[in-house]
Amino acid sequence: MTPVLRIEGLRVGFPNVAAVRGISLSVARGETHCLVGESGCGKSVSALALMGLLPRSARRSADCIAFGDLDLAPLSERQMARLRGDRMTMIFQEPMTSLNPAYTVGSQMTEVLRRHRGLGQGDAVARAAAMLDRVGISAPDMRLGQFPHQLSGGLRQRVMIAMALLCEPELLIADEPTTALDVTVQAQILRLLAGLQRELGLAVLLITHDLGIVARTANQVSVMYAGEIVEQAPVNELFAAPTHPYTRGLLASIPVPGKVRRGEKLGSIPGIVPAIGPGFAGCAFRDRCGEAMAACAEPVPERHIGDEHQYRCLLDPAWRAAA
Amino acid sequence: MRHRIALWLGVLIVGTAAVVAIFAPLLVPHDPFAQNLSQRFIPPAWMKGGSSEHLLGTDQLGRDYFARLILGTRISMMIGTTTIMMAGFIGTTLGVLGGYFGGKLDRVVMFIISCRLAIPLILVALTVVSLIGSSLTVVMLTLGLLLWERFAVVSRAATRQVCGLDYVAAAWAAGCSRLAIILREVLPNIAHHLVVIATIDMAIAILLEAALSFLGLGVPPPLPSWGLMIAEAKDYMFFKPWVIEIPGLALLVLVLGINLLGDGLRDALGAQTER
Amino acid sequence: MLRYLLRSLLLAVLVCLTVLVISFALARLGGNLAINLAGPDASPEAIAKIEHQLGLDRPLPIQFLDWANRAAHGDLGDSFLFHEKVSQLIAEHFPVTFILGILAIAIAIAVALPLGILAALHEGTAADMAIGMMALAGQAVPSFWLGLMLIVWFGVTLHWLPISGVETWTGYIMPAFVLAFVAIPAMLRLTRGGMVDAMRADYVRTARAKGLSRASIVLKHAFRNAAMPVVAVSAVQLGFILGGSVVVEVVFNIRGVGYLAWESIQKGDFPVVQAVVLLFAIIFVVLTTLADLLGAALDPRLRAT
């Protein structure tokens, strides 16, 4: 079956920085694909690139950006605008500032329905109220008349989710949807998203830096570093057999209750994510990698373990056993 | 890039004006006050009937226009600089006191500022000058004592911002006196805002003086204030437009230069403005 | 909200009172009014007579209280010159100034807002810089000079518009334009700045992600938030325009309140001057209070329950 989203070789460049240097992934219907990485690795930029929401100074190119059968690359801003909010939607990290403070929740929701479905005010309000109810917001009619500043962070994020699903999209891109929320609220939101995904058969591209969220929600995982995907695998496979040194480093730095002994240092990866200027070649992780070799300065090929597990490193899978 | 151009253009214009103002008596080709009724209304050198002896022609009393323009630069620059010094002192003192001490003192300061803003500036300035008598000194004093509100508002806002910062608390904890803190910690850190406000105020002062002189209640004749020159030439403007065009352009260029300087400084120093 | 309103009103009244005192003191600044009125050759008896007539021989605080009391009842005294009630004089002259002011602010808004939005949308391009330069140049133009130049070009050379007075409605065009010219640069900058910030805001990113039309994003979402300070500034600018109307009214020979004030200043008719200063102060205070209220009305976050 055609995947809902398929990207191949996506590149995004800014005047001094190559933010995304050729990533490929796909998301199938009803599947959650997590894009994981540290701050600055280019995951948010990738999402914005897909939606056509990059700033004017950015340059995007790709071998393929396919939304179902539709090629997104040649579409004009106007054509993209028709898709956005309707068949492909996005929710963002900061619910506090992502809603317009000057308009009511209802007004901001109904405008989506009026724009994409041509509904009249009455129908739009009814649909919006129904959606608020579906995302677990009580007293939806009252909420519609409220302003964003009157809602808590968790409520606002629920509103954002409701707004994104109003037109029953095929693809939802969620950029760190729970990072700005309390831990307890995080769990609720993730559960909500999972439930809605099942109901609607949504394809979800979930961007996060939190491996815990990955473990809970992902079907597929892509680990991103400095603009590249360094490892890609189904979630169980990734946690069972992480192969790229960066992935292993990430997993090792999660403190597991019971396994960490007193006085033992928490695992971490020394150094920081480098900014990649134009003309960079080779593995971007080599300055922080314990296994780096001279050959790492050359372009690194993609290696495969079975059908579904890829990683970008010169080391053989066997090195894990020795590590 | 464009900020650099603006800044350097502004520096060029204002710098030239400053030099002209300082060296005016040495630069004038003729005595700006010397009347010669047989030589009235000679057009500028580039027009028909003009001569290179009077580069910008002569006015209705036969006085050399170029010389008057040069002396007028000195007048405008004097007005501008004295105003920003006086107004700067008054306004900054008020603003820093209010911003630093807060509470009741701050409310009093804000009230004073509100009253000042409510007063129609031109009318009051006109009234004062008409009562005391018009002279350069009176105009300088009046403008200096009236134009401080921008300094007050911006220095107050900047002081409040700075006072929230750690190094002020550190100085206080280290036992510095209030005055020392104000002089050593607050003032240097709000200075860049004030510099930009100074340029704005200078431009306003120069335009205001021109308006006052135009209305006859500013700098008295025979001093060649540009505003006064325009007023004196008003009756002849239909037939000899250059007599009002030239001083008007001079005002425009000088004020534009000051504004460019202010804009350039603001971008270079990262200051806020109260426009 | 009510408390805020009451507090604003109280402050406004206090400011007006202070200005009252100031304008009263102003008129008494220049030495003895009676001497000025009586003329240089008047005898001491004549001067004393005038003093007594006008109540100028009473102690100052009494004079002030008397005037304030009468002013509160709408009697602003008599003009020395015109032998009319000051309040009547002002009532006769005010409509012209008012129309001029409203027209000017309307022109300013109609020019500054679209240009500001345009400049923000094309931030950093040549168009943006051109608009910025025009605003800067506009701020440097002396208003009285602009008025004169317009009279020469449009009144004399082209014969399109009347060169003085407001007998016909066309007489309002040039002076209103000159007044607007002064207000436009500040409003343009504010609009541009507000729009640039608004367009970078997260909620605009959300609006784009929702696939809304460009017009909706720019006007409905961004501008609505950028407009708040612009509205406040418009009200204040109107106050400044009215207060500075003297120059334009003199240049164009328009018999408004500014012109009246100027004549009165020149001739020492101080009851009129006092009253006009007070009038402008009250107008300014009213406008700023209105601007505050409008700002609160536009920003839902300020409407505290």
List pLDDT tens digits, range B94-128. 998 888 887 888 889 988 998 888 888 888 888 88
- Is pLDDT of B272 > 60? no
Is B113 an interface residue toward C (CB < 8 Å)? no
B215: which chain C residues are within 8 Å (Cβ-Cβ)? 246-247, 250, 262
Q: Do the chains contact at C300 and A149, CB–CB below 8 Å?
A: yes
A92: which chain C residues are within 8 Å (Cβ-Cβ)? 202, 205-206, 209
B241: which chain C residues are within 8 Å (Cβ-Cβ)? 152
- Residue C17 CA to residue B18 CA, distance in Å, equals 42
CB atoms within 10 A of CB B46: 11
Number of residues that make up chain A: 323
What string of H, E and C letters represents the secondary structure of chain B? CHHHHHHHHHHHHHHHHHHHHHCHHHHCCCCCCCCCHHHCCCCCCCCCCCECCECCCECCCCCEHHHHHHHHHHHHHHHHHHHHHHHHHHHHHHHHHHHHHCHHHHHHHHHHHHHHHHCCHHHHHHHHHHHHCCCHHHHHHHHHHHCCHHHHHHHHHHHHHHHCCHHHHHHHHCCCCHHHHHHHHHHHHHHHHHHHHHHHHHHHHHHHHHHHHHCCCCCCCCCCCHHHHHHHHHHHCCCCCHHHHHHHHHHHHHHHHHHHHHHHHHHHHCCCCCC
A101: which chain C residues are within 8 Å (Cβ-Cβ)? 203, 225, 299-301
Rounded to a whole number of angstroms, the CA Rg of chain C reads 24
Chains A and B are in contact, defined as 3 or more C-beta pairs closer than 8 angstroms: no
Q: Out of A130-139, C116-125, C231-240, C252-261, pick the least confident.
A: C231-240
Q: Which of A219, A273, A58 is nearest to A50 (CA)?
A: A58
Name the minimum distance, in Å, from the CA of B27 to any CA of chain C: 26
- Is pLDDT of A8 > 70? yes
User: Which segments within chain A are labelled E, that is strand?
Assistant: 5-13, 18-27, 32-36, 59-61, 64-67, 70-71, 88-91, 171-175, 203-208, 220-225, 228-234, 303-305, 309-311
| Of B111, B120, B259, Cβ closest to residue C243 | B120
Confidence of residue A321 (pLDDT cuts 50, 70, 90): low
Q: What is the pLDDT of residues B188-232, one digit of tens each?
A: 888 888 998 999 999 999 999 999 999 988 888 888 899 998 998
B5: which chain C residues are within 8 Å (Cβ-Cβ)? none
Name the minimum distance, in Å, from the CA of C75 to any CA of chain B: 21
Contact predicate A100/C203, CB 8 Å: yes
- ipTM of the modeled complex: 0.86
Is B7 an interface residue toward C (CB < 8 Å)? no
Q: What is the pLDDT of residues C201-236, one digit of tens each?
A: 999 999 999 999 999 999 999 998 888 888 888 888
Give the range with max mean pLDDT: A72-76, A283-287, B1-5, B233-237.
A72-76
Across chain C, mean pLDDT equals 82
- Residue C276 CA to residue C279 CA, distance in Å, equals 5
Contact predicate C260/C245, CB 8 Å: no
Is C62 an interface residue toward B (CB < 8 Å)? no
Contact predicate A323/A245, CB 8 Å: no
- Residue A133 CA to residue C205 CA, distance in Å, equals 25
- Residue B15 CA to residue B261 CA, distance in Å, equals 10
Contact predicate A209/A225, CB 8 Å: no
Q: Name the neighbours of C, counting chains with at least 3 Cβ pairs within 8 A.
A: A, B
- Is pLDDT of C31 > 60? no
- Is pLDDT of C300 > 80? no
| Of C145, C190, C276, Cβ closest to residue B123 | C276
Q: Do the chains contact at C273 and B127, CB–CB below 8 Å?
A: yes
C205: which chain A residues are within 8 Å (Cβ-Cβ)? 53, 92, 98
Q: Do the chains contact at C299 and A102, CB–CB below 8 Å?
A: yes
Contact predicate A137/A186, CB 8 Å: no
Q: Out of A190-199, B116-125, C71-80, pick the least confident.
A: C71-80
* Mean pLDDT confidence for A13-25: 89
| Of C142, C190, C285, Cβ closest to residue B207 | C142
Name the minimum distance, in Å, from the CA of B112 to any CA of chain C: 8
Candidates A93, A100, A115, A172: best to mutate against C (most CBs of C within 10 A) is A100
Bigger pLDDT: B153 or C79?
B153
Q: Which of B14, B45, B67 is nearest to B242 (CA)?
A: B45
Name the minimum distance, in Å, from the CA of A99 to any CA of chain C: 5
Q: Out of A64-68, B38-42, C107-111, pick the least confident.
A: B38-42
Q: Out of B152-161, B266-275, C122-131, pick the least confident.
A: B266-275
Q: Do the chains contact at C29 and B131, CB–CB below 8 Å?
A: yes
How many contacts, defined by CB atoms under 8 Å, are there between B and C?
Answer: 135
C291: which chain B residues are within 8 Å (Cβ-Cβ)? none
- Is pLDDT of B175 > 90? no
Tokens of C122: 């094309």
Q: Which residue of C has its CA nearest to A98?
A: C203
Rounded to a whole number of angstroms, the CA Rg of chain B reads 22
Bigger pLDDT: A258 or A305?
A305
Q: Which amino acid is at A94?
A: E
Q: What backbone phi and psi angles, to 5 degrees, belong to B238? A: -70, -30
Q: What is the pLDDT of residues B7-58, one digit of tens each?
A: 888 999 999 999 988 888 887 777 778 777 777 777 777 777 777 777 777 7
Contact predicate B58/B41, CB 8 Å: yes
* Mean pLDDT confidence for A217-238: 92
Bigger pLDDT: A301 or C195?
C195
B256: which chain C residues are within 8 Å (Cβ-Cβ)? 136-137, 140
A100: which chain C residues are within 8 Å (Cβ-Cβ)? 203, 206-207, 221, 224-225
How many contacts, defined by CB atoms under 8 Å, are there between A and C?
Answer: 75
Candidates B123, B249, B274: best to mutate against C (most CBs of C within 10 A) is B123
Q: Do the chains contact at C140 and B252, CB–CB below 8 Å?
A: yes
Residue A180: the pLDDT is 83
